[in-house]
């Protein structure tokens, strides 16, 4: 989940493979996974506790995107390391800040590991989310039900990876203070590449990954208000279903992909999480024995209530 929208809603080398969900019958997964998405922008994430004065004195700020060092284009963190290794004393940084370019002069600190700028760099976004569906016919899986965004908009992913993860801690949600599933990756080795980051979800391919009963997908006309369930993982146990109620259905073509409003009614889930929390984005929603969509947003002022996306909208984005 990304952040608060208008203070009201919280939402939760590339290997080239075909991404295509058959959409006949899909396995609703509900399992938490780790996600790491990379792009071609290198930004300043934090100051080093010891060497940070070097960057501060030069005027380098957290959030600055490093465009060039001594006139050489920076497209990845390795470009920064290479430029520092070949530098002769002071360097000239070209950075982008609030949409404007500026140049800074910085004298790298000399360390046993070579010259350092005194900052930690970031080239992507990582976190946990929930897998919505797995297509056993194609190996395609979809997660989150919404895209991953950064300060520039929808993150233009150059590559990405999915990792096995576990829920280590639950921060219970309450009005005005959204909850969160805090997870950890079980292994530094990814189990699958991520191939698409879209407004309707993140998608990848992993042959023979998940097993379980496959469900038919519901069309727009068959989804209705009333009883439904979500499949999600809120601890170390396997995903299980929790009861919810569909309160309102919105147009299938709604641009923000908030296609229906739902409320958590399951006492177990309410006790454990307070409702919908960060990390549950992508939890599949089932109704009348069909997969109808995924959880995507939570109302900040009412964590029992949130939004979902229609499954057909996710499948269209998957390809």
Rounded Cα distance between 214 and 317, Å, is 20
Catalytic residue among 39, 146, 257, 297: 146
Rounded Cα distance between 138 and 136, Å, is 6
Q: Write down the residue that tokens 């950890």 correspond to.
A: 184
Q: Are 259 and 295 in contact (CB under 8 A)?
A: no
Catalytic residue among 281, 283, 297, 312: 281
DSSP character for 238? P
Tell me, letter by letter, the H, E, C secondary structure of 21-77. CCCCEEEECCCEEEEEEECCCCEEEEECCCCHHHHHHHCCCCCCEEEEECCEECCCH
Other CB atoms within a 10 A radius of the CB of residue 63 amount to: 13
Dihedral of alpha carbons 291, 288, 229, 210, sign: negative
Q: Are 197 and 147 in contact (CB under 8 A)?
A: yes
266 is catalytic: yes
Q: Are 167 and 182 in contact (CB under 8 A)?
A: yes
138 is catalytic: no
Percent helix / strand / coil, the chain, rounded to 5: 10, 50, 40
Rounded Cα distance between 234 and 232, Å, is 6
Catalytic residue among 70, 150, 266, 302: 266
Rounded Cα distance between 292 and 308, Å, is 9
146 is catalytic: yes
User: How far is residue 167 CA from its own chain's centroid?
Assistant: 15
Q: Are 202 and 196 in contact (CB under 8 A)?
A: yes
Positions marked active-site: 146, 266, 281
């Amino acid at each position: 989940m990304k952040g608060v929208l208008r203070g009201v809603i919280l939402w939760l080398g590339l290997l080239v493979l075909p991404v295509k969900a058959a959409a006949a019958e899909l396995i609703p997964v509900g399992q938490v996974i780790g996600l790491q998405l990379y792009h071609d922008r290198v930004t300043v994430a934090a100051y080093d506790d010891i060497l940070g004065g070097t960057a501060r004195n030069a005027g380098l700020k957290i959030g600055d995107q490093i465009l060039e060092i001594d006139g050489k284009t920076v497209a990845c963190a390795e470009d920064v390391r290479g430029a520092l290794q070949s530098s002769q004393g002071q360097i000239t940084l070209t950075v982008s800040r609030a949409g404007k370019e500026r140049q800074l002069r910085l004298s790298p600190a000399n360390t046993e590991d070579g010259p350092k700028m005194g900052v930690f760099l970031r080239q992507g976004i990582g976190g946990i989310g929930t897998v919505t569906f797995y297509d056993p016919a194609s190996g395609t899986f979809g997660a989150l039900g919404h895209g991953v965004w950064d300060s520039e908009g929808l993150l233009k992913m150059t590559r990405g990876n999915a990792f096995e993860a576990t829920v280590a801690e639950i921060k219970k949600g309450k009005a005005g203070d959204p909850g969160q599933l805090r997870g950890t990756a079980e292994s530094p080795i990814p189990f699958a590449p991520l191939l698409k980051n879209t407004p309707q979800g993140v998608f990848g391919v992993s042959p023979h990954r998940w097993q379980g009963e496959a469900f038919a997908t519901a069309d727009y006309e068959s989804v209705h208000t009333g009883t439904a369930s979500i499949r999600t993982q809120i601890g170390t146990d396997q995903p299980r279903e929790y009861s919810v109620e569909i309160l309102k259905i919105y147009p299938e073509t709604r641009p923000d992909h908030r296609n229906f409003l739902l409320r958590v009614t399951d006492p177990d889930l309410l006790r454990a999480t307070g409702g919908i929390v960060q990390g549950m984005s992508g939890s599949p929603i089932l109704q009348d024995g069909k997969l109808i969509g995924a959880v995507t947003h939570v109302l900040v002022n009412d964590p029992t209530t949130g939004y979902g996306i229609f499954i057909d909208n996710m499948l269209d984005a998957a390809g």
